[in-house]
Amino acid sequence: MSTLTVGVLALQGAFIEHVLFLRQAIAELNSELSANIIEVRTAKQLETCNALVIPGGESTVMSLIAERTDMLEPLRQFVQDPAKPVWGTCAGLIFIGSKVVNGRKDQKLLNAMDIEVTRNAFGRQLDSKIVSLDFSSFIPGLTSFPATFIRAPVVSEVGENVEILSKLEDSGFVVAVKQGNKLGTSFHPELSESNAFHKYFLEQYVLKTYST
């Protein structure tokens, strides 16, 4: 397998943390996966990517910047390609969804996953929290992961082809979903001290897609 390129959308938000964790995860995977991690700001950079991570931040601002920089349509084409692994976290989850509740009228979506996402389901930034969650049903051994929710969205509706990966026990909020090789999480794995989710994305989405 040749060297792959995994892009992190760098228009706005916590993209640097994703870049660092992805590079760390690749180093720990040793020779299983050869990949370059790049920050993506232009359509030309996006064209070089085999997979894409869309970070947390502010989903409306992200979509407006994408539109202003002529990135919206290239992004939409990329993420809607069933062959491309894509992961959206927090604001990125909203961006790759097909419907948004409590969004602005000028907010654009990429329609990569058949999900409705409700913005700011946890309230204000002061109401943000870290919750220890058990993800061992899809990431073996990951029984206690510190999931950081910052003005986080939740998935309020899913289409028939969407798999629910995780719900919060107290509220029933859906916080992780999968559709084909598209992954969405409402929390910020890049703000934890563990790169387990980044390894999961690389192994189960990127590596599986390009090793077949």
**Interhelix angle for 72-80 vs 59-68, to 10°?**
110
β partners of residue 100: 117
Q: Is 211 annotated as a binding residue?
A: no
Q: Is 57 annotated as a binding residue?
A: yes
Catalytic site residue 190?
A: yes
CATH number at residue 92: 3.40.50.880
Point out the catalytic residue in the list 188, 193, 198, 203. Answer: 188
Token output for 30: 């040793």
**Residue 180, domain extent:** 4-210
Q: Is 150 annotated as a binding residue?
A: yes
Point out the catalytic residue in the list 47, 90, 157, 160. Answer: 90
Residue 56 pLDDT = 87
Q: For the chain, what is the domain count?
A: 1
Do residues 125 and 91 lie in contact, with contact meaning Cβ atoms separated by under 8 Å?
A: no
Residuewise pLDDT in 10s, the chain (212 residues): 688 999 999 998 889 999 999 999 999 987 778 899 999 999 999 999 999 999 988 888 889 899 999 999 999 999 999 999 999 999 999 999 999 998 777 789 999 999 999 988 776 655 678 999 999 999 999 999 999 998 889 999 999 999 999 999 888 899 999 999 999 999 999 999 899 999 999 999 999 999 86
Catalytic site residue 198?
A: no
Other Cβ atoms less than 10 A from the Cβ of 154: the count is 23
CB within 8 Å of 7: residues ≥ 6 apart: 37, 38, 39, 40, 45, 46, 48, 49, 51, 52, 53
Point out the catalytic residue in the list 17, 49, 190, 198. Answer: 190
Digit-coded pLDDT (tens) for 67-86: 999 999 999 999 999 999 99
Q: Is 96 annotated as a binding residue?
A: no
d(C-alpha 71, C-alpha 64), whole Å: 10
Q: Is 58 annotated as a binding residue?
A: yes
- Phi/psi at 118 (5° precision): -100, 120
